[in-house]
Structures are given as structure tokens and as C-alpha cells.
Amino acid sequence: MSAAKCQLNEAEKKLLKEKQARGVTVVGIDLASRVIQVCYLQKNGTLYNKPKTRDEFIKFLEEPPFTGKILAGIEACGSCNFWARKIKALGHDCKVMPAFQIKAFLSLDTKTDKVDALAILRAVMSVSIKEIGIRDEKNQVLMQLLTVREQLMKQKVQIQNARRAVLYELGEVCSLGENAIDKCAQNLLVSLEESKSEALSEFRACDEVAKANLNNVNTQLNTIEKHLTDFAKSDPVCQNLVTIPGIALFSAAVLRIVMGDPNDYPDSRHFAAFVGFAPKVTGSGGKISVGGTRKSGNHILKRVLYMCAISRYGQTKKYDPERTSKVATLIDNEDVSNKRIVCSIANRMARVAWTIAKHGEKFDGKKCRLLEL
């Protein structure tokens, strides 16, 4: 890679010098676990683009080799929240940016730490790059709790499927649910005992181990869900979110945790798009078409809101027999599918949740006809 290509042009240098004249030095930072690449324009007009260890980087933030504040640009990654909080605690400013938007500033096909740090430096100067909100420590740990819960749920399904498969191979067909699997396993044990099968002890050992693993997973899930429910009971925002029809304590906790600071989103539509309930919009030649729901978004919150929307859909069919609500009118419309109605309800729930968290108020059915009965 030519060293001349990994440089700033004159217009970029001029912009950086203007910021330095106002007491702000823009620094592009490419984070890594042990080596951190730092890139900024020095006072003599040359580009500084060198790696630093973690200790050297912290010393650089505490005692920068220039006067004034630092405007640090960071690419969104696993440690971006930690370093952003660290930078702000030292009195500097920090801008966390989406990784896919920084790719547009890569002027070379080569991908190295130097090239990435220079691209981040260029991206910080762009006003069109949206900034990602910085999460605090408690919110990060709560997000990790949700991730661990997702992993445990997958393990639970795997264990149940494994037990079901063993029973099916031995002639027992199970219904849905843990109780059905336990009943089939007990029936098979009795059958093996009566027939004096040689596989009795092996099957008993296999089933006992699977049940022990399942009980362990259920215990951990109950611990996490209790903690999240207690969090929802003590958090004032969650108490307001519970007033939304179809939202219970656990759903409110997930909403609150994933949303973080509502000020990080310009409006309710942006939050609904972040969750993943914004429809696909395509257009060409003056013709615009609105498609189905995107696959992107936060999958944890998306799944929870979808289940809440199904619950609200069922409540409407049960408690509104006269079909007076807006959802009921959609139900009676044969041109609108049930899934589309549920996604519409989930989209509205996300938007209403953002508004409630933003303004600190309770749900008002008069302002949202789609969710009222």
C-alpha cells in the first residue's frame, strides 16, 4: 500500500485545522482488544496514524499532546460503549458511528488498522453520519441478561427435541409441552420394565440426565425472568409502559432495556424501524410500493412485541364482538391478512412505547385508536 494514498486531502486538512482553531481536535480511533489505532492531524499539518497499547491510549486521553478537547470518532463494536463512557468521563466528546456507514469512507481496497482509523477520522467530519447512543453500564448488563436468556431458551428447545427424538425412535409419539414428554418417558419406562428390555437402565440414565439439564435451564430462566420482572416493578418508565394494552411486566422490561435512552431516536418511526417493524418501501419510475416487514432489527424485542401484538389481536376478537375498534374493522377486511394486522399492531406498540418513554406519560386510548377496544 502506498503511504501517499493513506493521507488527507487539502480540503479535509482545512476543515480539521478550523476545528483545531476552535479548540477541538478530531481523532479517529480504531478499537481493538489490545492495540488501538489513533489517527489525527498534528499542528504541523502532518497526519499522526499510529497504534497504541491500552495503557498508552488511556494516557493519551488523560494527557493529550495538544491543547483543547478531543472529538473522538469510534466505530460501533463490542467495547465502544466502555470507551465512549471513558472518553466522556475525561471531559472529551465522543461520536459512535455505525460500521456499515464508515465503509463509504474507505478510499483503499486494503483493510488495515491505518486505513480504518483514517476512514473513521473522515467519517467524524461528516454531518450525514448518524450517531449511535451510548449505553450505561447497568443497561449493558441488562442487555446481556436478555442475551443469556435467549441462549438458555435455545438450550431448552434442544434438550426437549433430543428427548422427543429418543422417545420417537423407541415408538413413543409425544404431544407438545414438557408434561407430554415426561408422560411419554414414564410410559416407555413402564413398557421397558414389563418387557424386561436390556435397554432399560440405559434409557433411564439418558432420560434422567436430560431431565436434570432441563431442570437446571428452567431454574436459570426463572432467575433471569424474576430479576427482569423486579426491574420492571421498580422502574417508573416500565410502569408507564405496562399501561399499553397487551404489554405485561416482562415485555415492558425488554422494551425499556432495548430502547435505552429514548432521546437516541429522532422520533417514534425511527424506533419502530430499529425494532424491525418498518415495511419495505421500493420505488422506480414514479411508482412506489410498500412490501412486507424487514428481517432486520433487534430480534429479541421484535419477537416479544410480535407476541404482545398477537395477544392484543386475540383480545380484540374476544372482547369486541360488535367490532367497534379499528383493529376489528381490519379483521373483517378479507383483503388484509392476519399477519399484516399483527405486524401493524406491533409497529404501533413500538411507536407508542417510545412516546410514553420520551414524555413520561401513561397510555391514552383516545390518542391511539389502533390499540384501544
- Of 130-134, 167-171, 326-330, 360-364, give the lowest mean pLDDT range: 326-330
Q: Is 130 inside any structural domain?
A: no
CB 261 within 8 A of CB 133: yes
Report which of residues 251 and 319 the model is more confident about. Answer: 251
Q: Which position has the grid cell 467495547?
A: 79
Q: Is 332 inside any structural domain?
A: yes
- Number of alpha carbons in the 13 Å side-chain half-sphere of residue 12: 19
What is the per-residue pLDDT across 277-287, written as a single tens digit (0 to 9) for each? 877 778 777 78
Q: Is 3 inside any structural domain?
A: no
Round the average pLDDT of the chain to a whole number and report it.
Answer: 87
Q: In angstroms, what CA-CA distances link 73 with 9, 106, 127, 170?
A: 19, 15, 12, 60
- Of 127-141, 245-259, 334-348, give the lowest mean pLDDT range: 334-348
Q: Is residue 12 predicted with pLDDT exceeding 70?
A: yes
DSSP 133: P
pTM of the model: 0.83
Q: Which amino acid is at 173?
A: V
Gap between the Cα atoms of 326 and 319, Å rounded: 13
- Indicate whether 150 and 106 sit together in one domain: no
What's the sign of the alpha-carbon dihedral 254, 131, 95, 27? positive
What is the mean pLDDT of the segment spanning 255-282? 88
Domain residue limits at 171: 137-233
- Indicate whether 247 and 205 sit together in one domain: no
Confidence (pLDDT) at 127: 84
Cell of residue 363, nine digits: 397510555
What is the per-residue pLDDT across 41-62, written as a single tens digit (0 to 9) for each? 998 889 999 999 999 999 999 9
Gap between the Cα atoms of 364 and 37, Å rounded: 50
Report which of residues 201 and 1 the model is more confident about. Answer: 201
- Indicate whether 111 and 16 sit together in one domain: yes
- Indicate whether 249 and 353 sit together in one domain: yes
Q: Is residue 4 predicted with pLDDT exceeding 60?
A: no
